[in-house]
Amino acid sequence: MEDAIKKGIELGEKLNSDYCEIRVENIDLTYISLIDGRINTLNQRTELGAAIRILKDGAWGFVSCNIEDIEKGVKDAFSLAKNSAKRRKSKIELAEVKPVQENVIKKLEKPPKIVPVGTKIERMIDLYNKFKKYDPRIKAVSISYRDGEGKRYLFTNEGTELIQDVCHVWNYCWITGKKNQLLTSARDEIGSVSRGFEYFDGEPNEEIVKRTGKRVMMQLEGKEVGKGSFECVLGPRVVGVLAHEALGHLSEADLTVNSSFDGKIGEIVATEDIKINMVDDIVPDGFGNYKYDEEGVKVKKVEIIKNSVLAGLLTNREYAKKTEMPLTGSARAEDWRSSPIIRMRNTYFEKGDFEEEELFEGIKHGYYCVDFRGGQAELNSSFQVGIQEGYEIINGEIGDPIKNTSISGMAIEALKYITGTGKKLSFENGRCGKGQEAFVSSGGPKMRFKKGAIVFG
């Protein structure tokens, strides 16, 4: 394998590429889908392919191909780059990096490849049985499981020779409940890129069923929410969506220039009454944890908002050069079919110093949003988060559950309405879609917002 890649790099050099990069992926994947207790799909496959990216005369050419075709791929990528360059006025340049030669080994207690498929299925069937026992109102149970284990290779003509072990395990449940004519659902998503199948020892089926079952019942029994803006407390999972969707994307350097963060580096963007800090970093069991990115840059902590001031952006080599911001190791690619783009990893608000009761104190009528069902933001910082677990707050106390609502607002405005941040951090692991799928974590402490920032609709 390494010889084939090196030959490709040599050819890239011979062609006089300004930069030549070959990534190869060799990963064994398992996908199992269990629908109402029946195995709908059991798919085991090997992903083996090459991604070739060449910079020539200031433009990119990209080819994805089988590893047997690497040499042809290099020639094609070179020609694509040359053709693209003819139409460019300015040249794409890359920030300099020190080439890295390293073999990043991942030690797993229970590597997914050696766990028998029967064990994986048994866990899912047990989960299904527990859901069915939880409440007779649960009518349909869909459970998906994915794992992957293998190696990612990155070689460049600058001398980088990086081989990283990669692994993931992932579980997703979609649970449907019914009461009389009313149908509803809740979802649960967990996973790890740091641990193997042992990850599920810390995520017992009982807990998954308890938290997801509760959310389904709340959607069946909950109250409708008033429409308009209310004082509210957002839990870590919802705060995380705000950090990721509404603010994190604006700080991805390829998007910043078209966003509400453009030209605001060094400016106060959040309330000055308390210090707000938001970062993208490696965290324990973070779903975006890797040592190096797909350009061989070591992953770094990025202080996006520091003491309420917009301080940093996520970059790849192209945008680090263009914006003169530091390299952050944020270039990620879904697989060998995709070219690396700027992505978040684990994005969160740092903890504050408010006690739990202080966060709720004095709220006469508001809402406490605990968990979400999807979220989306736009470059003008308009955000929307669907709420799948939430409660009324009446006179500072948590009241009845609420249903069928989502929250929205302009994130750059909402940051100025924060009146308290809690002391305890927590995260959720999920996926982000920016044309390509990436595993990410997001989170924060509980945060309180005064009326006017967040609209319930």
Partner 1 sequence: MELSKTLKYGEKLGLDELEIFVHITDVIDVEGELGEISKTNKAKETDIFVRGIADKRVGFGFTNDMRFLNDTVKKVYSSARANKKDKNWQDLPEVRKYHDIEEYDPEIEKMSVEEVIDTCQEIIDLTPEGITPAFCDARREIGEKYCINTNGIEISERGTWTAAYSYLVGKTDAGVTPGCLGIEIMRRKNLNLEKIVSSAADDVKLSKNLKKAESGLKDVIIHPYALEDLLCYTLLTSILGENVVRGKSFLKGKIGSHIFSEKLTMTDDPLYKNGVSTMKFDFEGVPAKKTFLIQDGVLKNFLWNDYWAKIGGERSTGNAYRNILKGTVETKPTNIVIEEGSDNIFDIREGYYVKGFQGAHSSNPESGEFSVVCNPGFKVENGEITGGCVFMISGNIYDLLKNIEDIGREKITGTNIISPLIRFKVHTAAK
Other beta carbons within 10 angstroms of residue 40's beta carbon come to 12
How many amino acids of this chain bind partner 1 (CB under 8 A)?
A: 82
Of 59 and 209, nearer to partner 1 (C-beta) is 59
Please measure the distance between the N-terminal and C-terminal CA atoms of the chain and give it in whole angstroms: 54
Interactions with partner 1, residue window 49-68 (CB under 8 A): 49, 59-66
For position 117 contacting partner 1 by CB under 8 A, the verdict is yes
Q: Which is nearer to partner 1, 215 or 300 (CB)?
A: 215
Positive or negative CA dihedral for 104, 98, 441, 431?
Answer: negative
Residue 41: strand pairing partners: 33
Question: Nearer to partner 1 by C-beta: 43 or 101?
Answer: 43
Within 10 Å of residue 202's Cβ, how many Cβ atoms? 11
Which of 372, 417, 427, 439 forms a contact with partner 1 (CB under 8 A)? 372
Q: Which of residues 157-186 bind partner 1 (CB under 8 A)?
A: 176, 178, 182-185
Q: Which CB atom, from 300 or from 332, has the smaller least distance to partner 1?
A: 332
CA-CA distance, 198 to 190, in Å (whole number)?
Answer: 13
Helix (H) or strand (E) holding 112: none
Which C-beta is closer to partner 1: that of 110 or that of 137?
A: 137
Q: Which residue stretch of 156-164, 286-294, 373-381, 393-401 sits at the interface with partner 1 (rule: CB under 8 A)?
A: 373-381
Pick from 383, 417, 427, 449: which binds partner 1 (CB under 8 A)? 383
How many beta carbons lie within 10 A of that of residue 437, not counting itself? 12
Residue 181 contacts residue 194 (beta carbons within 8 Å): no
Q: Exactly one of 212, 259, 330, 421 binds partner 1 (CB under 8 A); which one?
A: 259
Question: Smaller CB distance to partner 1: residue 284 or 433?
Answer: 433
Q: How far apart are CA 195 and CA 110, in angstroms?
A: 8
CB of 355 to partner 1, least distance (A): 31
Give me the helix-helix angle, 117-134 and 205-221, nearest 10°: 40
Among 4, 97, 140, 268, indicate the residue that binds partner 1 (CB under 8 A): 140
Which of 251, 316, 347, 406 is close enough to bind partner 1 by CB under 8 A? 406
Which tokens hold the place of 265? 């580096």
